[in-house]
Structure formats: structure tokens, C-alpha cells
Amino acid sequence: MNAQPFRNAIRQSIEAGSFLYTLEYVPDVRDGTGRKGIDHLEREAELVGRDPRIGGVNIGDRVSRLDTLDTVECGAIAATASGKMPLLHLAGKDRKPEEAIRVLQRAHSLGLTNYLLITGDRVIKPPNQERTRYHESVIAIQDAKKIDPGCLAAAVVSPFKYREEELANQYLKMVKKINAGANYLVTNCGWDMQKFQELIWYREARALRVPILANLLMPPLGWAKSINAGRLPGVHLSDDLLEIIVGESKLGKTEFERLSVRRLALQIVGLKLMGYAGVHLSGIETHELLRHTIEVADELEQKLPTSADWKAAWAEAHLLPDRRPAMFGPRSGLYLFGDEQPLPASFNEFPTIVGVTASEQELRKTRVLDTIDRALFDDDSVGAAVLKPVFSALNRIPLGERALLNLEKAIKQPILGCETCGFCRIPYVEYICPETCPKGLANGPCSGTDDNVCEFKDRECIHNRKYRIAKSTNRLSDLETIVIPAVTGTRMTSSWVNKYQHLTPAVLRISKAKQADSKSLTKANTTDGATVSTAVAAVGAHVSSDEVD
């Protein structure tokens, strides 16, 4: 199929500052022709094409399973049926870097240029015995911009984290994604409106010029229970909210559905007042239900014109049976701000939170490893002068090559968890091997943490330690600006030899994306289309980089 020009209503909406709605489509499991799922997609996409309020179809990528209909193919079908450019979610899970690039190239060749680039959640049933690889979202954003600098790249951020390390890591990685070229952000789904507000205020305090969309979910009772039990990675549904939803479910199907739509509509109204640029509504897969939700939100918007009106209505809708207001986060959860908006542009860098610090043991290990690394691998070090010719000579003979690899593994695996990736990234990640993250992420965490614990539930998220060390050594800004490339073609080779022979990819420090004062930012997300257009162009266009070493 040749590239076709599709009207990019999603881009137009973001650039014009008009509130964006899209219709979600989660590709079916591929069985036979997958005709049933495709029929549904075509039918709904046609309705989206005729509805000026809806920007396009947003299409998930291998949600919860790997054997689903192809997202790019579904995108082409949605584009043809609606005449509107869809938004493709492209996940790095179970994709090596070169495979992820091929998917982007295929989408681009079909004229599909709206992407939401994510790492993806845990692969529950790996297709083979090999370790499942995950291509990082930060690198995917760079890949997309290399293939087509004009593409519209979105990235995910989750404000729904309640411990310092996991929350700070989300915001640090968010800025890295903007620095890497993300044009706009989409949140994880959540119900904690104070956290939605925190993200907007954080953006304003950092003077970041980037539109943000919220992801909202309308869960049936079973889902609500399962999310509350922690079965949807990184998504928090509090005990109080579950109690309210359970109570609503006892009022009968029709009333339960009415109250569920009303909650979603109330969230939409609140988010509009905060300055969100639109919503992704997860779990709403028909045009009819989406249109109905928009109508309910419009009616509520008329009745609740101010933030104070909205807050009162939200609180009233979330009273527990004993008239206590529901809590949406954990009782001792961390919020960066109180009820008051912080001063505009009050900090240029990540605000240092008075809280956790690295332990003496964590710091000592980092110092020792850093000293060894510099002594052996700095270009002008004695270690490099002695070892480089010896290692290079050894590496030229197969026996020597194997011996070097085994030696490296024997030394580094017990200390660091080394998996002989051939491109040692530890100096850029506070000497914590990214291979000890089950997804192998070097550029910051996924959003699957819960209470600081990894999505895989078997360890503390490795990026927490990195954060504590960077904070204690005043290097937090590195976590926003240093982009560590993917490992390609070096696995099972000696990183020592690769380093001496300059065979590893360059690690870059990306200069900060252009920032603006918060006044123009506020304008950018309300009425001034031209300002948004400039903002969208500015982010991504003003990225320049220097090699770190």
C-alpha cells in the first residue's frame, strides 16, 4: 500500500488547543482472519470520520497479549475507513531495537505518523525461552524523529506514584522524553485528581511547553476489583473508591452505568479546568458510548463553570457511606504540592525533595566502581595504556576472545548482575546495571512500579537506587539529559574491548528542550492556537546534543 494523505485531526486539535477526544480500539487476538475485530474497527472508524468532535481512532499495541492483530495494519484500516490519521500505540515489548525501527518504518511508509511510544507492560507468556527484550520508549521517540522529524510523537508519564523515588523518577524521565523529542504527553490512567493537578502544576513550575492528555478508565466492577488488587501494573484504584464503586453496583445495571459515565464526565470537566489538552478514554470502544460521555461532560461543564464548583461536585460524588470524603491515594502518599498552585516557574531543575538519600553503602560502592572505571577506561588512564593493546591482541584470536568474555562475566556478574551485553552502561546509571531491570531499561523506569516495587514484584525498582545516588551526589539533572542508546549487535562480546576500540555507541547529553514562561504555557493550552503550534514545533526542534565522554 502506498502512503496516503490522511487528515491529521489529532495534530490539528493539539495545535489549536481544542480539547481532544479519540476512540480507543484494542486489537483483537489474531484468530483466523480476525474479521470480526476488523469489521468492528471499520464500522466505528467510519463513525469517527463523520464526527467532528473526535480526532481519530487510537489503537493499542499487543495489549495484555502478543498474538493480536497488527497495530500498523489496524491503523491503515482505521485511516481508510475514517479518513483521519489514527494514533498508533507502539510498544517496545518483545521487540529488539531493529524490530522496533522496522515497525516505525512500516507505519511511516503507509502515511501513519501519529505515535504513542511506550515500553509496554510485562510480557506474561514469553514466546520462547530467551529473555524477553523491551525497546525503550526514550530511544523509540528518537527513532521516530529520525525517520520522520515531522511525526507527532507522544510519550507517557504517570503522576500516580506516591513514594519519592518512583514519583521523582517519573518526572525526571518525562523531561528526558521531552528532551528526546516528544511533542506531547499522555498520563497513565487514574482517578486521583490531586495528582492530575500536580502534573499540570509541575509542568508550569518547570515552564515546560508541552500539551498533556489524560488517560481515563471507566472500569466495570470486576476490573475495579482487579485494579484495586494491583493486577494492572502501575494503576492505583484506592480502597475508598472501590467501596464507592461496589456501592454503586448494587443500585442496578442502568444506575451503575449512569454513575460510571458521570464519574468519567466529571473527571473530563475537572481536567479541562486544569488545562489538559484532551483525554484518552480507555475501555470505551464504541462511538455511541464515547459520544454519550462527551454529551454528559458538556452538560456538566455548563453547570460547573469554575474550579470551586467542580471541586464541590467531585467531593459530593465521592462521599463514603459514613460521609467521609474518599481518598484516592494511599494515606501517607507523597504529593509535590498542597492545595495551592506553586509560584510560576519557581524551579528550573528537578526540585530536590527533602526525603530519601542514598545509604553510605550505596555511595561507597558507586565511588569505588567509579574510581576503577576511570583508572581503567579513561582515554588517558594508565589502565587504558596498558590494557588496550593486550586486550585488543587477545581479542583477535577466538580463544582469547572467549577468555576475555568469560573473565569479564566472572568479575562483573557477582558484583553488578552483568549479562555481557558488550556495551557497559553502568558509568551513566550510577553503576547499577540496567540488565538487572527485568525490562533492561537504562533511561529511567517504566510506569509499572507500585510502592517503589518493580512491576515484576520481585525487587525494588532498580531506578530507585540510581535516583537516591544521583540525588545524594547532586547529579539529578543527568537523569533528565543523558540519553543512553540501545544495545545493538554487541551482546556476548567483551565490553572492555568494545570500549577500548570505540565500538560502542555514543552516550549523549541532550540539551534541554526550549522552555517558556508559565504565562505563555497557560495560554498555549487554552485558546491561543498559534502559541501551541509554536510550542509543539519548539519541543523536539531545539534538541541538540553533546557526547558525554
Residues contributing to the site for ligand SF4 (CB under 6 A) = 437-439, 441, 445-446, 448-449, 454-456, 461-463
Where residue 323 falls (left for φ over 0; alpha for ψ -120 to 50; beta otherwise) is left
Decide if 334 contacts 171 (C-beta within 8 A).
Answer: no
136 Cα distance to chain centroid: 10
Q: How far apart are CA 188 and CA 191, in angstroms?
A: 10
In the complex, minimum distance from the CB of residue 438 to ligand SF4, in angstroms, rounded to a whole number: 5
> Between residues 452 and 518, which has the closer beta carbon with respect to ligand SF4?
452
In the complex, minimum distance from the CB of residue 233 to ligand SF4, in angstroms, rounded to a whole number: 8
Q: How far apart are CA 445 and CA 503, in angstroms?
A: 27
HSE-CB at 179 with a 13 A cutoff on CA atoms is 23
Tally Cβ neighbours within 10 Å of residue 549: 10
**What backbone torsions phi and psi does residue 233 show, to the nearest 5 degrees?**
-50, 130
Residue 258, burial from CB neighbour count under 10 angstroms (0-12, 13-18, 19+): middle
> Between residues 58 and 170, which has the closer beta carbon with respect to ligand SF4?
170
In the complex, minimum distance from the CB of residue 74 to ligand SF4, in angstroms, rounded to a whole number: 27
In the complex, minimum distance from the CB of residue 234 to ligand SF4, in angstroms, rounded to a whole number: 8
Alpha-carbon torsion (132, 136, 137, 139), positive or negative: negative
> Between residues 152 and 433, which has the closer beta carbon with respect to ligand SF4?
433
Torsion of the alpha carbons at 224, 228, 230 and 236, rounded to the nearest 10: 100
For the residues of 7-28, what is the DSSP string, one character each? B-HHHHHHHHTPPEEEEEE-PP
Q: How far apart are CA 259 and CA 404, in angstroms?
A: 65
> Between residues 56 and 92, which has the closer beta carbon with respect to ligand SF4?
92
409 Cα distance to chain centroid: 32
Query: H helices of 83-210, where?
Result: 97-109, 137-147, 164-180, 193-205
CA-derived radius of gyration, the chain? 24
HSE-CB at 59 with a 13 A cutoff on CA atoms is 34
> Which residues, in sequence order, are CB contacts of 424 under 8 Å at separation 6+?
418, 495, 499, 504
In the complex, minimum distance from the CB of residue 460 to ligand SF4, in angstroms, rounded to a whole number: 8
Decide if 154 contacts 512 (C-beta within 8 A).
Answer: no
> Between residues 182 and 462, which has the closer beta carbon with respect to ligand SF4?
462
Q: How far apart are CA 141 and CA 153, in angstroms?
A: 7
> Between residues 377 and 423, which has the closer beta carbon with respect to ligand SF4?
423
In the complex, minimum distance from the CB of residue 105 to ligand SF4, in angstroms, rounded to a whole number: 27
In the complex, minimum distance from the CB of residue 463 to ligand SF4, in angstroms, rounded to a whole number: 5
Q: In what order do the strands lie in the sheet with 482-483?
A: 482-483, 508-510, 545-547
In the complex, minimum distance from the CB of residue 430 to ligand SF4, in angstroms, rounded to a whole number: 14
In the complex, minimum distance from the CB of residue 462 to ligand SF4, in angstroms, rounded to a whole number: 5
- Of 162, 202, 169, 203, the closest CA to residue 184 belongs to 203
In the complex, minimum distance from the CB of residue 445 to ligand SF4, in angstroms, rounded to a whole number: 4
Decide if 259 contacts 251 (C-beta within 8 A).
Answer: yes
For the residues of 448-517, what is the DSSP string, one character each? --BTTB-TTSSSB-HHHHHHHHHHHTT-TTHHHHEEPPPP-S-TTS-HHHHHHTT-SPPPEEEPPPPB--
In the complex, minimum distance from the CB of residue 312 to ligand SF4, in angstroms, rounded to a whole number: 37
In the complex, minimum distance from the CB of residue 458 to ligand SF4, in angstroms, rounded to a whole number: 9
Length of the chain as a residue count: 549
In the complex, minimum distance from the CB of residue 197 to ligand SF4, in angstroms, rounded to a whole number: 25
> Between residues 177 and 263, which has the closer beta carbon with respect to ligand SF4?
177
